Amino acid sequence: MFSAKQLQQILLALFLIPLLYSCGQHQPSAKAVSDQNGHPEWTKDANIYEVNIRQYTPEGTFSAFQKHLPRLESMGVEILWLMPIHPIGKKRRKGKLGSYYSIRNYKAINPDFGTEQDFKQLVDAVHERGMKLIIDWVPNHTAWDHPWVQEHPEFYAKDSTGAITYEADWTDIALLNYDNKELWPKIIDAMGYWVSEADIDGFRVDHAAHEIPMAFWERAIPKVNNLKKGLFWLAEWNDPKLHPLFDASYTWDYFHLATDIAQETESVDAITEYMQTENALYPKSAYRMYFTTNHDENSWKGTDQELYGDNFENFAVMAATIDGIPLIYSGQETGLDQRLEFFKKDTIDWDGYEYETLYHTLLELKKNNSALWNGQYGGGFEVLQTNKPEVYAFRRVKGEDEVVVILNFSDKSTNVQVAGLENKTNYRNVFKPEELVSVYDERIILDAHQYLVLEK
């Protein structure tokens, strides 16, 4: 038997061993080898697009949004994630329209968005185009005027005085208590309702593991999965324990690192250390979701320009190619230069779609090149050495497929040399398909903030 101290040393060594290797081929940990998550087949090369129904169109309805489906399909979007579709609480409401995440009824539709029939028609229209639709699910809390507050106060967390409590400064929500297992079948039934009645394709789960035990998900996910084959589960959380039960989880640490690099408080080399840590903590089978923004970051932290400045395109390219499953937020394809209001109407200004070609090219590349596929289906991540500290380069390889990404984060033109690539290999410039590039032992001139994405 080992002593407690010996066990601690063994566990620490097991954690550090992967960090001693380069990011190389994203070597799986022992856990990853035995844990090959059986994701739905259709997710292996998929991407996600978050839909803010309230702000997407002047009408703010399902029907109005549906008119954008041809454009989104053409852009290459595959999974549409709709922010919460349910009625919003009126009691203790924040702002004029309230927060999407203050749910008054899990089995009803927000009348501002339309009817349940309108929602079902949207789902059908999405499926007709070969796309998928998942809904935002909020199991952590409800609105104060949810029927359970009166009918089942035992479902809620209480403060020291015995009163139902809320979380942090979110005074418009009442916190649920998962210690009471009588709550569990109620939540599971409500989730199943939308699978059975509307034929949705999965869930983005808000606060997936904050106050909610894994034992609940171990019961809930298999039960809901029994209703429809191939459901997709995205957890709004950053914890290895969520896998393999959930298909995908958030890369919050990467997002914060990216914004730090953009603000020049962190070096681009920190990406290498981040990827080493990812490799050590997460199984290869885990889909990790990479993004430059989402509804929270846009509303509370800043616009793409505020967060990334002139390097926005570099970070958009990296999020789509570095690893895992990429996310695009409503309006990013039109240059989202506004912090969308959270509690009131604030329609996206669709003024030019200036990034639509960028996203189309990246999503098409991901679809057609297996090196960029998700989880165990994709290729490894390998850092490539350059002679310029402001330039970051990496490649991903799966079989005969290979993608090389070179990013100049400097505000000056630079003459860069990339090491570690095979001799006599020509690459196609993904954004200029007619252009062949040889990067072995040759210097490449990159303009300020320029990126180069190459396909073998």
Give per-residue pLDDT as tens, 54-98: 999 999 999 999 999 999 999 999 999 999 999 999 999 999 999
Residue 21 lies in a domain: no
Which residues span the domain enclosing 448? 379-456
- Is residue 289, in this structure, part of any structural domain at all? yes
pLDDT of residue 6: 39
CATH number of residue 67's parent domain:
3.20.20.80
Cα angle, residue 220 at apex, residues 218 and 223 outer, rounded to 5°: 110
Q: Give backbone dihedrals phi and psi of 32, rounded to 5 degrees, phi first.
A: -65, -35
pLDDT of 168: 86
Q: Residue 176 — left, alpha, or beta (φ > 0 → left; ψ -120 to 50 → alpha)?
A: beta
Rounded to whole angstroms, how far apart are CA atoms 208 and 213? Answer: 9
Task: Mark whether 365 and 408 lie in a shared domain.
Answer: no
Tell me the helices (H) and strands (E) count for the chain, helix number first.
15, 18
Q: Which residue has the tokens 């709550």?
A: 183
Q: How many domains does the chain have?
A: 2
State both tokens at 187.
């939540």
324: phi then psi, degrees, rounded to nearest 5: 70, -155
- Mean pLDDT, range 222-228, rounded to an integer: 98
Place of tokens 């990246």: 362
Cis peptide, bond prior to residue 244, ω within 30 of zero: yes
Residue 22: inside a domain: no
Measured between alpha carbons, how far is 102 from 281 in angstroms, rounded to an integer?
A: 33
Which of 246-255, 332-341, 388-397, 426-435 is predicted with the least confidence, judged by mean pLDDT? 426-435
Segment 243-288, tens digit of pLDDT: 999 999 999 999 999 999 999 999 999 999 999 999 999 999 999 9
Q: Which residue among 357, 378, 399 closes a domain?
A: 378
- What's at 398, amino acid-wise? K
Do the domain assignments include residue 171? yes
Q: 390 and 372 in one domain?
A: no
Q: In the prediction, which pLDDT does 1 show? A: 40
- pLDDT category at 167 given cuts 50, 70, 90 is confident
Helices (H), 167-269: 184-198, 214-225, 252-262
Tell me the percentage of the chain whose pLDDT exceeds 90: 86
CATH of the domain at 433: 2.60.40.1180
Q: Could you tell me if residue 2 is inside a domain?
A: no
Pick from 326, 358, 378: which residue ends a domain?
378
The percent of the chain in helix, strand and coil, each rounded to the nearest 5, is 35, 20, 45
Q: Is the pLDDT of residue 29 over 90?
A: no
State residue 174's pLDDT score.
98
Same domain, 373 and 385: no
Check whether residue 350 and residue 435 sit in a common domain. Answer: no
Q: Are residues 370 and 408 in the same domain?
A: no
State the average pLDDT over residues 127-136. 98
Determine the pLDDT at residue 423: 64
Looking at the structure, tell me whether residues 187 and 303 fall in a common domain: yes
Query: Would 329 be classed as within a structural domain?
Result: yes
Based on the domain organization, do 365 and 436 belong to the same domain?
Answer: no
Residues 291 and 355 in one domain: yes
Please state, in angstroms and as integers, the Cα–Cα distance from residue 107 to each residue in 87, 187, 188, 294, following that order. Answer: 9, 10, 12, 25
Last residue of a domain, one of 335, 352, 378: 378
Q: Is residue 121 part of a domain?
A: yes
Identify whether 73 is part of a domain.
yes
Pair (54, 133) in one structural domain: yes
For 55-97, give the secondary structure using H, E and C: HHCCCCCHHHHHCCHHHHHHHCCCEEEECCCCCECCCCCCCCC
Mean per-residue pLDDT of the chain: 91
Nearest residue to 271 (alpha-carbon basis) of 85, 22, 15: 22
pLDDT in tens, 280-338: 999 999 999 999 999 999 999 999 999 999 999 999 999 999 999 999 999 999 999 99
Indicate whether 339 and 402 sit together in one domain: no
Are 374 and 400 members of one domain? no
- pLDDT value, residue 13: 41
Co-location of 319 and 393 in the same domain: no
Task: Reply yes or no on whether the pLDDT at 198 is more than 80.
Answer: yes
Which of 84, 82, 66 lies closest to 129 in space, CA to CA? 66
Encoding tokens for residue 36?
A: 């090959």
Are 24 and 380 contacting, i.e. CB atoms less than 8 angstroms apart? yes
